Amino acid sequence: MSIVIAIIAFCIIILIHELGHFFVAKAFGMRVSEFAIGMGPTLLRKRGRETVYCLKLIPMGGSCSLGEDEDSDDPRSFRNKPVWQRMLVIVAGAVMNLILGFVVCIFAVISSGDITTTTIAEFKDGAVSNSQLMVNDEIVSINGMSIWTSMDISYCFQNQLAKLSDDAKSVSYDFVVKRNGQLVELNDVSFALNQSPDATKGMIVDFYVYPQSLNFFNTIETAFKTSLTEGRLIWITLLDFLKGTYGINDLSGPIGVVDSIGKVAAISLNSLFLMIAFISINVGIFNLLPIPALDGARFVFLLIEAIRRKPISPEKEGMVHFVGLCALFLLFIVVTFNDIVRIFTGG
């Protein structure tokens, strides 16, 4: 059942993305030749007035065929529409994914039952951080990273933990807190480390934060902040990948994503919503990157056209996207193989 939920969730994320392209294109009177969900052999096919709607076997992709790389005399063709309209069509898919992420974050907040703030409520027994931190301190930043949600606190703690040596007994952070209405800088706030039975070092987060009852306004605010947090974490991870902190083996493809959704679905509804929101926002941000074959690269070509007031040859642009598509397909094969290995080896 978890796998079924995961596949449905993944298909919804893809569907929303393609519907963004589809509806904006239709709103501008563009001709859409095919709207497809999935990849590979066609399972269902229905011809509308001018668009063929398809459901394909492999639920790991989709398409909204606009003839972006084709010259045509049809005034309704994509390339014959004003460049600003084409720009909006191209970014619409990613924007829809970002909106979906925000909406799902609302459900995540509601399903949690309350809101966890970033204000310290009490310290656990044996706490050491209370040598500098105090009850009612509102955490503003940790190690220079602005804290918007309790998720940010967890990320900062775990990110620093991963950099420690095996024999470390404690870890310290630089905090900025709001105390009695004033910003206070606290350097080298220490937290003790423990050694769990499986020899995995874990940090003792030695304080609790206040919960807050839900209402309409703080639900929307928290969902928005959660969306921003997840988007920021995606950018941070991307930059870490470019820096070499992570490698190809750390990436996951559609199979790994479905597996991850299935696992969190078995934990709680809140975890499932947060994972779906994270993936949807991830899809939105990734598609805006200027990588050939992705929406971001197509937007760059349209931006160049708008500046020089002359379109780039569709053959040349098409070749660039074809090369990018081949590279992405090769990456897809690699990450899919890694996903399968991880699943069967428990890695």
Could you list the active site residues?
18
- Which H or E element spans position 150? helix 150-161
β-sheet bridge partners, residue 184: 177
Whole-angstrom CA distances from 278 to 117, 271, 314 are 20, 10, 34
- The CA distance from 313 to 252, in Å, is 35
Running DSSP on this structure, what letter comes out for residue 199? S
In Å, how far are 114, 142, 145, 228, 267 from 223, measured between CA atoms?
Answer: 12, 21, 19, 9, 20
Distance between CA atoms of residues 13 and 86, nearest Å: 22
Decide the pairing of beta strands 145-146 and 138-142: antiparallel
Hey, CA dihedral for 144, 149, 154, 159, is it positive or negative? negative
Three-state SS for 277?
helix
CA angle 29, 35, 39 (to 5 degrees): 155
Which CA distances in Å does 147 have to 110, 156, 157? 21, 9, 12
Q: Compute CA distances 164 → 112, 131, 157, 240, 325, whole Å.
A: 32, 22, 11, 17, 39
Q: What is the C-alpha to C-alpha distance for residues 310 and 316, in angstroms, rounded to an integer? A: 14
What is the sign, positive or negative, of the torsion defined by CA atoms of 228, 231, 237, 242? negative
Measured in Å, how far apart are the chain's first and last C-alpha atoms? 22
